[in-house]
Structure 1
Amino acid sequence: MNLRVLTYNIHKGFSFNNRQFILHEIREGLRSTDVDLVFIQEIHGEQLRHQGKIGQWPLETQFEFLADSVWPHYAYGKNAIYNHGHHGNAILSKYPIKQSRNIILSRLKRASRGLLHGIIELPGYKKDLHVICVHLELFRFEQRRQLEVIRQHILEFIGDNEPLVLAGDFNDWRGRSARFLGRALGLVEAHHQRYGAHAFTYPAFWPVLKVDRIYFRGIELSDAGCLTGNPWDTLSDHSPLYAEFRI
């Protein structure tokens, strides 16, 4: 079977300059991709302040709103908690999520950095697919510590022969995470394998930084790319990455 995945930092449903609430447009964009799995960073689980002021704010959570009827299975990891709500990472799936676990990577209470690990049951496939959605800090010394947490988690909970997709916002424009994850865990980055370089994903309207990634092992890459142009350059501050695998 073919498996299509996409990772996207949605900037909490707001445009790059925070002037427009564009979660509805993001949902339409995601639907048009027809992917099987969506890895989302910076998504609200609750935001009471905006909920009372923005007319288009959905009644359900943002991840339920995006999932709708297209991705009936989802998991959410609450990472940043404050008086009026919380946000974090989410995984949306067309296939059942057997279990999920969230680990907060940040040492600061209001930071939104975390690791959301889900186990996906694929039809007609004997092995479980492990999927991890991450969002790392900007600062290098914190990134090193967070990458080590990711390494230890994968070594402890995912077997060497089990298929894995690790995707998200790594805030890594220098490629250090790729070198570390390649050496430590045998992970390969999809866009780099397909084109020989990581994708420019930030800012979406004029991408000059390579901060988002889709890493994998135990499955075969058939395609990868970055979604640019209309409508993606006017939605979030990040461009989405996608990859297609043969399972």
Structure 2
Amino acid sequence: MTGNLHMNIRILTFNIHKGVGWGRTSTLNKIHTHIQELHSDIIFLQEIRGSQFEAISSDIWPHLSYGKNAVYLTGHHGNAILSKFPILMSDNIDLTMRRYERRGLLHSIIRLEQSNLPLHLLCVHLGLSIRDQLKQLKKIVTYIQATISDQDPLVLGGDFNDWTGSATKPLVKELGLQEAFLDSHQAYARTFPAWAPLLKLDRIYFRGFQVSKAHRLVQHPWRPLSDHIALEVYLTLKNNDE
């Protein structure tokens, strides 16, 4: 994209581990409190129970979508997107490769103020094996190519479980996406386990933006809230009309 830079947007992604933190303690109320303190514009959540996502939402993010992945006797969990901007549509794409490991891609569309283009938001949780990840990413690439215009900005964030850094290469090669931490820090963010983060599992990919800031929420009180570290990035949208 070319043109002037004119709009900033803050994106948070967080695998909340069903609201369970260190020592198997419930952290949902604390997650709700500290997310509200951030005032991010868009929030991607993974491993959130169906009964939890409305509790985490608030007047700050009146618009939300939820994609159910795993269903069990006591309920279900999946991905959620919270937005300050109206959500025009949402779709949940099943990425499951194994019956006991349900995975999905939640796709929502919003329209930002001062922009004539839709912004595509994609929240994902991939499987644990590299073989499954490669299949899931192929499905994601095919889906994006078929449903999203090359001219439209997008943000794809979540828990990719790609600890080797190799499975996600098609996102760059075939879709031309950039990863926020790789772009700004020359390395993916270490996000797992939260108490001693070594593995680079969580990512925020984008198209049609520039990164102005990317950071891990490792300070108190964030670290004990989940087994993953939350990531927040500041993106600047390019004006494609000028």
Tell me whether the two structures share a fold, i.e. TM-score over 0.5.
Answer: yes
Q: Percent identity between the aligned chains?
A: 48
Matched, 1:234 2:224: yes
Q: Which residue of 2 aligns with 1:84?
A: 74
Q: Which residue of 2 aligns with 1:52?
A: none
Aligned residue pairs, count: 231
Task: Trace 1:63-212 onto structure 2 (pairs within 5 A).
Answer: 63-212=53-202
Aligned-residue offset at 1:143 = 0.6
1:35 maps to which of 24, 40, 46: 40
Q: Which residue of 1 aligns with 2:16?
A: 10
Preserved contact between residue 141 and residue 170 of structure 2 (Cα < 8 Å): no
CA RMSD in angstroms comes to: 1.1
State the distance in 2 between where 1:5 and 1:177 align: 23
Identify the range of structure 1 (108-117 vs 1-10) with the bigger mean alpha-carbon deviation: 108-117
Preserved contact between residue 178 and residue 188 of structure 1 (Cα < 8 Å): no
Matched, 1:62 2:52: yes
State the distance in 1 between where 2:10 and 2:48 align: 21
Runs of 4 or more above 4 Å deviation: none
Aligned-residue offset at 1:184 = 1.1
Aligned-residue offset at 1:104 = 1.4
State the distance in 2 between where 1:79 and 1:106 align: 8
Aligned-residue offset at 1:16 = 3.4
* TM-score of the superposed pair, with normalisation by structure 2: 0.93
State the distance in 2 between where 1:9 and 1:156 align: 28
Change (3 A) 1:17 1:144: farther
Give unmatched runs, 5+ long, in structure 1. 46-60
Q: Which residue of 2 aligns with 1:51?
A: none
User: Which amino acid is the alignment partner of residue 39 of structure 1?
Assistant: F
Identify the range of structure 1 (85-94 vs 228-237) with the bigger mean alpha-carbon deviation: 228-237
Identify the range of structure 1 (152-161 vs 170-179) with the bigger mean alpha-carbon deviation: 170-179
* TM-score of the superposed pair, with normalisation by structure 1: 0.91
Aligned-residue offset at 1:245 = 1.1
User: Which amino acid is the alignment partner of residue 4 of structure 1?
Assistant: R
Higher RCO (Cα < 8 Å, 6 or more apart): 2
Give unmatched runs, 5+ long, in structure 2. 1-6, 238-242
Preserved contact between residue 73 and residue 92 of structure 1 (Cα < 8 Å): yes
- SS in structure 2 at match of 1:171: coil
Aligned-residue offset at 1:228 = 0.3
User: Which amino acid is the alignment partner of residue 49 of structure 2?
Assistant: H
Aligned-residue offset at 1:76 = 0.1
Aligned-residue offset at 1:110 = 4.1
Deviations 1:152-211 (A, max 9, x none): 010011111100100000001111134221101101100110010000101111101100
Preserved contact between residue 42 and residue 112 of structure 1 (Cα < 8 Å): no
